[in-house]
């Protein structure tokens, strides 16, 4: 399963606690970065877990402003080291976490940032290898299904089976050419319409799972899975 904020919180060796934003603990973590700059966003990607001590900041309001920016740009969460600059997470930061749902973690002095980053990087790498392995084993099944049912119908059937959700192939104008299972036709049409309007790929993680839409030649393909999928696993979307 992809790494989420909930996992490092549950690992006893890190001794992390949640100060705010518990509703966001299932946010996926793409990477872990330590930063003491006021605006780290230019160097971050969506899903980053940012660790900071507050050293060099003008005050807790500055850390709170960073937390709010992280929430606005799709970060996984923010970890605040304590017993260095602050004895506890400043209430200004706690307030941002509660308002936005951004997880705010308390990182004790006994947990070095580098140890946390190394452990989670190893976990992320392991998940990417597993996802790539699954993707490579899916390719022969896609080929066999395409030969049996045709590229459009065969691809949607196998992708829906693989991800435990639904898959659809759409035309440029948003028309659903094929969907599996057929009971997902309304959801597929809604996603296809969004692709037709924006003309761009889309990846959204919500309470229903992971929705991925990708432009493919003159049309596009959409998949809905019950769990977030890392980039290596989403590589199968280029197959049809």
Q: pLDDT value at position 237?
A: 40
Q: What is the DSSP string of 78-147?
A: EEEE-SSS-SS--HHHHHHHHHH---EEEE-TTS-HHHHHHHHHHHHHHHHHHHHHHHHHHHHHHHHHHH
CB atoms within 10 A of CB 164: 11
Q: What is the DSSP string of 49-82?
A: EEEE--TT-S-HHHHHHHHHHHHHTT--EEEEE-
Question: Averaged over 208-237, what is the pLDDT?
Answer: 60
Residue 54 has, within 13 A of its CA and on its CB side, a CA count of 25
**Residues 94 and 196 both lie in one domain:** no
**Residues 100 and 20 both lie in one domain:** yes
End-to-end CA distance of the chain: 25
Higher pLDDT, 10 or 214: 10
**Residues 178 and 231 both lie in one domain:** yes
Confidence band of 199 (pLDDT split at 50, 70, 90): low
Q: pLDDT value at position 152?
A: 80
Q: pLDDT value at position 133?
A: 74
Tens-digit pLDDT profile for residues 17-75: 999 999 999 999 989 999 998 888 888 888 999 999 999 898 999 999 999 999 998 89
pLDDT at 118 over 90: yes
* Distance (Å, whole) CA 81 – CA 4: 20
pLDDT at 117 over 70: yes
pLDDT at 214 over 70: no
Question: Averaged over 122-145, what is the pLDDT?
Answer: 80
The answer to the question of residue 35 being in a domain is: yes
* Domain hosting residue 194, numbered range: 128-238
The answer to the question of residue 15 being in a domain is: yes
Q: pLDDT value at position 233?
A: 46
List, edge to edge, every strand of the sheet that includes 219-225.
176-180, 166-170, 219-225, 209-216, 202-206
Higher pLDDT, 152 or 191: 152
Higher pLDDT, 240 or 36: 36
Confidence band of 236 (pLDDT split at 50, 70, 90): very low
Q: Which of 92, 1, 122 is nearest to 78 (CA)?
A: 92
Q: Which residue has the tokens 């807790």?
A: 60
Please calculate the CA angle 31-108-14 and round it to the nearest 5 degrees: 55
Domains in the chain, number = 2
Q: What is the CATH number of the domain that holds 162?
A: 3.30.450.40
Q: Which residues contact 142 (CB under 8 A, 6 or more apart)?
A: 154, 155, 158, 159, 236, 239, 240
Question: Is the CA virtual torsion 107, 110, 114, 119 positive or negative?
Answer: negative
Q: pLDDT value at position 181?
A: 86
Question: Averaged over 167-187, what is the pLDDT?
Answer: 79
**Residues 95 and 184 both lie in one domain:** no
User: 199 exposed, middle or buried (CB, 10 Å; 0-12, 13-18, 19+)?
Assistant: exposed
Q: What is the CATH number of the domain that holds 29?
A: 3.40.1390.20
Mean pLDDT computed over every residue of the chain: 82
* Residue 30 preceded by cis peptide, ω within 30: no
Q: What is the pTM of this model?
A: 0.62
* Distance (Å, whole) CA 102 – CA 27: 9
pLDDT at 93 over 90: yes
**Residues 59 and 98 both lie in one domain:** yes
Q: Of 60, 83, 111, which marks where a domain is finished?
A: 111
């Amino acid at each position: 399963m992809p790494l989420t904020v909930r996992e490092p919180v549950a690992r006893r060796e890190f001794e992390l606690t949640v100060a705010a934003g518990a509703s966001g603990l299932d946010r996926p973590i793409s990477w872990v970065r330590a930063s003491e700059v006021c605006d780290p966003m230019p160097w971050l990607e969506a899903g980053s877990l940012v660790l900071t001590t507050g050293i060099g900041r003008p005050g807790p309001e500055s850390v709170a402003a960073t937390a709010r920016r992280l929430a606005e740009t799709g970060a996984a969460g923010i970890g605040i080291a304590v017993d260095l600059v602050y004895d506890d997470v400043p209430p200004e930061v706690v307030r941002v976490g509660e308002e936005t749902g951004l997880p705010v973690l308390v990182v004790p002095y006994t947990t070095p940032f580098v140890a946390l980053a190394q452990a989670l990087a190893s976990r992320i790498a392991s998940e990417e290898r597993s996802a790539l392995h699954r993707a490579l084993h899916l390719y022969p099944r896609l080929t066999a299904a395409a030969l049996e049912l045709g590229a459009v119908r065969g691809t949607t059937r196998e992708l829906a089976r693989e991800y435990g959700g639904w898959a659809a192939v759409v035309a440029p104008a948003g028309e659903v050419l094929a969907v599996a299972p057929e009971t997902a036709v309304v959801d597929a049409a809604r996603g296809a319409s969004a692709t037709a309007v924006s003309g761009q790929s889309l990846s959204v993680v919500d309470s229903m799972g992971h929705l991925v839409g990708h432009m493919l030649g003159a049309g596009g393909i959409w998949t809905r899975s019950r769990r977030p999928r890392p980039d290596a696993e989403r590589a199968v979307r280029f197959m049809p």
